[in-house]
Amino acid sequence: MVFKDRLYPKCYVVLSALLMTLLMSCDKNSKLKKEVEAVPMELKVERFDKVFMQSTKESLPTLKTQYPFLFPKQTPDSIFLERTQDPIQKLIQKSVDSVFSDFEPTEAGVKSLFKHIKYYNPSFKKPRVITVFSDVDYRNKVIVTDSIVLIGIDNYLGTDHEFYDSFYKYIRKNLKKDQIVMDLADAYASRFLNQPRRHTFLEELIYQGKKLYLKDLWVPNATDQTKVGYTPEEFLWTQDNEFYIWQYFVENELLYSTDDKLVGRFIAPAPFSRFNLELDSESPGAIGQYIGWQIVRSYMENNDTSVLQMLQMNAQSIFNKAKYKPRK
């Protein structure tokens, strides 16, 4: 009975403190949500893919005027018109129309992304967003410039779509429509960070971590596995083995290595990450992106630093103050 009397007040204090923290967090998130929603943003995605396939000899000149950057001048109109009648293009159109029969959720997702980007970066200027057929060029699913965004919409028809049968599984897994916003967020994060060269493995980890942290801010309602592009099984494996992954990096003195091969082993999309161990086939590719993400998250949780300040900090400073300690 004495044990219960002593334990109860302590538990009560802990639970009360936890409840207060949760309430404060909810209030903060609610305020942030309202502020983001108040950001003015009108957006209408231009479905060039549909308009082009419906074009005729009479309507094509007008279309070329509206989208001159999509019509090479040296190509005669006859080639474009033939393309609208090509059986393969018609099959692509049929598949796109089926998967995107309701395009509003995708458009709303892009609009929300832009509102969040502008909230954190008021100088952001909304681009024209245009959907096109890319002949399933999964290496260039989205193209982002200062004023124009092109979305190769035929790259998002679903993991098991017949167009992707010849692709490796690790490529197919993210050829689905919920990755459109993720790919756009990744492209914008790369532009904002503007750090083309990373000399050490630690710099690469933190760079990738910053990009994923921007997804936390820009696409807050997405799941972590969607942000990092993992299947549920891959994400669970990574969470379960985070301690051992980090231990491997440290014990093998990889953090300050300048070996370019580490990018291919642990950063670039791949069937699996290459630890050169028997468990390699169980791991997802790009495991280093996840680790860098957790370091940056840890830094932001343990330091009173603005997002802009963090993005401008070098990798070593972030790592030194992150207090990153994955649980075993």
- Specify if 28 maps to a domain: no
- Specify if 167 maps to a domain: yes
**115 and 96 inside one domain:** yes
- Specify if 27 maps to a domain: no
**235 and 292 inside one domain:** yes
pLDDT tens per residue across span 200-235: 999 999 999 999 999 999 999 999 999 999 999 999
**187 and 208 inside one domain:** no
- Specify if 215 maps to a domain: yes
pLDDT of residue 196: 74
Domain final residue, candidates 136, 159, 192: 192
152 three-class SS: strand
- Specify if 114 maps to a domain: yes
Domain final residue, candidates 170, 192, 214: 192
**99 and 188 inside one domain:** yes
Q: Into how many domains does the chain fold?
A: 2
Q: Is the pLDDT of residue 135 over 70?
A: yes
- The phi-psi region of residue 11 (left if phi > 0; otherwise alpha if psi is between -120 and 50; otherwise beta) is alpha
**188 and 201 inside one domain:** no
- Specify if 1 maps to a domain: no
Instruction: Quote the domain boundaries for residue 229.
Output: 196-322
**165 and 223 inside one domain:** no
What's the average model confidence in pLDDT over 146-158? 97
Q: Is the pLDDT of residue 181 over 80?
A: yes
- Specify if 43 maps to a domain: no
pLDDT of residue 17: 53
Q: What strand order describes the sheet that includes 148-152?
A: 128-132, 148-152, 142-144
**274 and 163 inside one domain:** no
**229 and 300 inside one domain:** yes
* Better pLDDT: 218 or 24: 218
Instruction: Tell me the CA distances in angstroms from 303 to 121, 300, 317, 319, 322, one per residue in order.
Output: 21, 5, 12, 12, 8
**286 and 161 inside one domain:** no
Say how many Å lie between the first and final Cα of the chain, rounded: 35
- Specify if 18 maps to a domain: no
**61 and 176 inside one domain:** yes
**233 and 177 inside one domain:** no
Residue 23's pLDDT band (cuts 50, 70, 90): low
> In angstroms, rounded to a whole number, what is the distance separating the alpha carbons of residues 297 and 313?
14
pLDDT tens per residue across span 78-103: 999 999 999 999 999 999 999 999 99
What's the average model confidence in pLDDT over 309-327? 96
**153 and 249 inside one domain:** no
Domain final residue, candidates 192, 216, 234: 192
pLDDT tens per residue across span 251-305: 999 999 999 999 999 999 999 999 999 889 999 999 999 999 999 999 999 999 9
The residue whose two tokens read 């642990």 is 266
